Chains A and B, each alone.
Chain A
Amino acid sequence: MNPVISAQNLDLTFTTNDGPVHALSDITLDIDKGEFVSLIGPSGCGKTTLLRVIADLEQPTGGSISVNGMTPEQARIHRAYGYVFQQAALFPWRTIADNIALPLEVMGIAAAERATRVRDNMALVDLMGFENKFPWQLSGGMQQRASIARALSVQPDMLLMDEPFGALDEIVRDHLNSQLLKLWAKTQKTVVFVTHSIPEAVYLSTRIVVMSPRPGRIHSIIDCNLGADRPLDIRETPEFLAIAHQVREGLREGHSYEG
């Protein structure tokens, strides 16, 4: 089976006023259909940049990358993915339902179909009854759920998530993590998930990509075979803790590089 995302020797150097910044260096990574892959690492390790390259929000300066067998740009134009940002990024002048309908309006989908998809996806993230509220009337967690519903309404095969729960408190984060896992099990979408939380990465992923900074590169890739059914208290099992330990070791090694 061909991988959905395939990066070969990917390089990206930003030109800034303070000289070049080597954000990605020699990234080689294949992600298969239906995988849940987490990118984890300290800030500056290029995990968000890598996600943005996959989404065609940044252009690599070297190497090659394909998404669904196309260039990232073609994949973006074919709406291959839904992107969830760290902030909900809802438009404050649109109601929740209208926010979720936004990508569908851009895609030129008919009003009846739009209404169906908005309703389905609001139900999926448990936001029924909030259709006509404006974003400021919702809590941070609900806003982020709305933004996930918005990404899902496109019906993409792939979800790219950039620290979507980073700004939320731990209780809400736990809740959304288990919801996301259920969603993933139900829809079988490919998920690429950026995080800097070890428990979050281990709890959600099938594979964890540990990255290290300056220049941003892949330190190691850790398999995470905890099975499909993951209740929240799986996080206290020895298997879980062993993987978490492995990830922590990887992060520490990657970091000590700097000296």
Chain B
Amino acid sequence: MQVGRFVHDRLLPIGTILLVIVLAWYVAAYAMNAPFQRDTDRRAGVTPTSSEFLVKTMSQPKPTMPAPHQVVENLWKNTLTVKPWSKRSLVYHAWITLSATLSGFAMGTALGVLIAIGIVHIPALDRSFLPWIIASQTIPILAIAPMIIVLLSAIGITGLLPKALISTYLSFFPVAVGMVKGLRSPDVLHLDLMRTYSANKVQTLWKLRIPASVPFFFTSMKVAIAASLIGAIVGELPTGAVAGIGSKLLAGSYYSQTIDIFAALIAGSIVAILLVTLVDLAGRFVNARMGARQP
């Protein structure tokens, strides 16, 4: 029953879309790789049958558009057949990016919560701070990331921290905005109730505002952790492509290794899905512990 519903409600729709994407991808791979293949064949003086030609478009070493199975093969080779700590392993690069993502996410979440608590309690901050926070997110991260890396390396800070800071920069925003809303979500009745108990601000924050904001907290953390990953990947681009998903993307584009680029992209997506799912599960667990009505 439960399994049947899972298949019907989740697996079937997602699987259908996946199938459509893979089919479209194959068609695109054929269409985009065909001109180069025709060129190569003409120079070599061979005239392949159409089925031979089709296979050739799907097995170029540096295709314009790699076919799905080439990407899967590359992923397989670079995750399962090499040692996870070797520089060729995508697991190694994903771990480098993940560590920057998680530390940036932790700092960003903490910063976002602190800003929200400040904004909710200090009217001056509410008026002065929020426009700047919003303005901070209108700056393209691609423009500011190299500056952060260069400035920090000038004062001797390199490695994980600069990337984490870019993640922080991207992830504090959804948390701050979501938490301002969450901390203000208790209704007047509950606030009046705390007032009849002569509760002070800390008690009201701790016993009412924070518990009331928990659903908002997890929703904004889902956005924040995805933004953190983007931040970490972007932060890896100007470091000279040493390690991480971002460096794999950059190295791939230097050497026209399109299959590597796609494999790195897919690896990044898998990490993102895992992270968002993890936050989602944590949210469900906490909600259940806090007595949320079971659906």
Contacts and interface: CB of A to CB of B under 8 A. Distances in A.
B267 interface: no
Interface in A119-144: 134-136
Interface string A221-249: 00000000000000000000000000000
Interface stretch (A25-33, A89-97, A175-183): A89-97
A154 B194 CA distance: 13
Contacts of A85: 189, 192-193
A211 B239 CA distance: 76
A76 B198 contact: yes
A85 B198 CA distance: 16
A253 interface: no
Most interface-central of B189, B203, B214, B291 (chain A CB within 10 A)? B291
A83 B190 CA distance: 12
Contact of A79 (B193, B197, B212, B293): B197
Contact of A76 (B196, B207, B212, B290): B196
A93 B291 contact: yes
A103 B196 CA distance: 9
Nearest to A160: B196
A77 B200 CA distance: 10
A70 to B, nearest CB: 13
B190 A91 contact: yes
B199 interface: yes
A79 to B, nearest CB: 6
Nearest to B187: A89
Contacts of A79: 197-198
Given A92-B291, A94-B291, A83 B196 contact: yes
Interface in B152-206: 189-190, 192-199, 203
A204 B198 CA distance: 29
Contacts of B195: 56-57, 76
Contacts, number: 55
A83 B207 CA distance: 18
Contact of A81 (B192, B196, B199, B203): B196
Contacts of A110: none
B160 to A, nearest CB: 36
A87 interface: yes
A49 to B, nearest CB: 13
A81 B195 CA distance: 12
Nearest to A93: B290
A33 to B, nearest CB: 20
A56 B195 CA distance: 9
B192 A91 contact: no
B161 to A, nearest CB: 37
Interface in B274-293: 290-293
A91 B189 CA distance: 11
Nearest to B192: A57
B208 interface: yes
Contacts of A105: 207
B197 A106 contact: yes
B291 A87 contact: no
Nearest to A132: B291
A93 B193 CA distance: 16
Contacts of B211: 91, 93-94
A1 interface: no
Nearest to A107: B197
A102 B203 CA distance: 10
A57 B193 CA distance: 10
Interface in B204-229: 207-208, 211-212, 214
Contacts of A107: 197
A92 B290 CA distance: 8
B207 A106 contact: yes
Given A57-B196, A106-B207, 8 more contacts: A76-B196, A79-B197, A83-B192, A85-B193, A89-B190, A89-B193, A92-B292, A94-B291
11 contacts: A57-B195, A76-B198, A83-B196, A89-B189, A89-B193, A93-B211, A93-B292, A94-B211, A95-B291, A105-B207, A134-B291
User: Top 4 A-B pairs ranked by shortest CB distance?
Assistant: A134-B291, A93-B290, A83-B196, A106-B197
